Amino acid sequence: AHSYTKYNTWNEIQDWIASISSSNPNLISKQVIGNTYEGRPMNLLKIGKKSSSTKPAIFMDCGIHAREWISPAFCQWFVKEALSTYGKDSQMTSLLNQMDVYVLPVFNIDGYDYTHKSNRMWRKTRSRRSGSGCVGADPNRNWNAGWCTIGASSNPCSDTFCGYTPESEIEVKNVADFIRRNKSAIKAYITVHSYSQLLLFPYSYTYELSAHHSELLKVAEGASAALRSLYGTRYTSGPGAATIYPAAGGSDDWAYDLGVKYSYTFELRDTGRYGFLLPESQIKPTCEETMLAVKYIAAYVQKNL
């Protein structure tokens, strides 16, 4: 059965998506933005008070990398908290009145399922191509942003394989198409990974600073301070290339270059003790502290619409 304090399987998450959206029709709706390589529906949740006109929006995805289980756990937590604090928490109420938050609970569903059934350390998608015996591409090297120029591999057997072309991975194409279609409404892009306790922003495909570097850094530092205020967890903020490593073809750089100024990558707990195998006992504290950072970014975006 589904629980917010355990790592749910894809089937449990799928049932949760259906039940949470049907039990909160006034605040949440779902839409399929396409299917994965193996044919699973990519359900995108839209959270916000219904409006007759298009509202400005924040897009957040979790689970780009299959083995980073705390990430989908956070997206589920976020949806629960949004619904249960609307009408109680003044910030959440104001946010959902004025904006919509799109949440993709699991981006790389095929990979996530594979980590539950076959290989806990799988990272990539599960696509196949004749001519290679190796499966999958890195869905965070497959975006059209300096694609495959640095920190990515053209070897299909590598864990950072950039794919055969930008958006060769259908999951990437489905999300990129959705964001392109809703580009004028989407004011912020948040993607959730693990681990390392970092809050990254563009660029990762170059060491050059983005045009909005100082503002993006200021917001990241505010968000990190908010996160730390709960349990003292320390995050480092900075542009991807200099803070973690240069790596092209990532979703954050792509969204930013499309025009979504507030583009952030979270790397959640921990710093390596458990790594991808973060114990379930840390789901609740990790999600509670991360909520503060995401709400900080959302409040800033809302104030600057």
Residues taking part in catalysis: 267
Residue 67: CB minimum distance to Zn ion, A: 8
Residue choice 141, 193, 261, 269 for contact with Zn ion (CB under 5 A): 193
Residue choice 46, 126, 193, 295 for contact with ligand 0X9 (CB under 6 A): 193
Residue with the shortest CB distance to ligand 0X9 = 250
Residue type at 177? D
Residue 298: CB minimum distance to ligand 0X9, A: 20
Residue 161 Cα to chain centre, angstroms: 20
Provide DSSP, the chain: ---TTS---HHHHHHHHHHHHHH-TTTEEEEEEEE-TTS-EEEEEEES---SSPPPEEEEEE-SSTT-THHHHHHHHHHHHHHHHTTTSHHHHHHHHH-EEEEES-S-HHHHHHHHHT-TT--S-----TT-------TTS-SSSSTTSSS-BS-TTSTTB--SSTT-SHHHHHHHHHHHHTTTTEEEEEEEEESS-EEEES-SS-SSPPTTHHHHHHHHHHHHHHHHHHH----EEEEHHHHT----S-HHHHHHHHT--EEEEEEES-SSSSGGG--GGGHHHHHHHHHHHHHHHHHHHHHT-
Task: Determine how many CB atoms are found less than 10 A away from the CB of residue 167.
Answer: 19
Q: Binding string to Zn ion for residues 63 to 92, with x set by CB under 5 A, is what?
A: --x--x------------------------
- In the complex with ligand 0X9, the residue whose CB is nearer, 102 or 147, is 147
- Out of Zn ion, ligand 0X9, none, which partner does residue 113 contact, by CB within 5 to 8 A per kind? none
Residue 264: CB minimum distance to ligand 0X9, A: 10
Residue choice 253, 266, 287, 289 for contact with ligand 0X9 (CB under 6 A): 253
Residue choice 14, 140, 142, 302 for contact with ligand 0X9 (CB under 6 A): 140
- Distance of CA 278 to CAs 107, 252, 274, 281, 298, Å? 20, 24, 5, 8, 26
Binding window for Zn ion (CB under 5 A); candidates: 13-21, 43-51, 193-201, 257-265: 193-201
Site for ligand 0X9 (CB under 6 A): how many residues?
A: 14
124 belongs to the binding site for ligand 0X9 (CB under 6 A): no
Residue choice 197, 265, 286, 290 for contact with ligand 0X9 (CB under 6 A): 265
Site for Zn ion (CB under 5 A): how many residues?
A: 3
Residue 189: CB minimum distance to ligand 0X9, A: 11
- Out of Zn ion, ligand 0X9, none, which partner does residue 142 contact, by CB within 5 to 8 A per kind? none
- In the complex with Zn ion, the residue whose CB is nearer, 126 or 193, is 193
- Residues of span 201-230 touching ligand 0X9 by CB under 6 A: 204
- In the complex with Zn ion, the residue whose CB is nearer, 58 or 247, is 247
Q: At what angle do helices 213-231 and 283-303 cross, to 10 degrees?
A: 140
What residue ranges bind Zn ion (CB under 5 A)? Answer: 65, 68, 193
What residue ranges bind ligand 0X9 (CB under 6 A)? Answer: 65, 68, 140, 193, 200, 204, 240, 244, 247, 250, 252-253, 265, 267
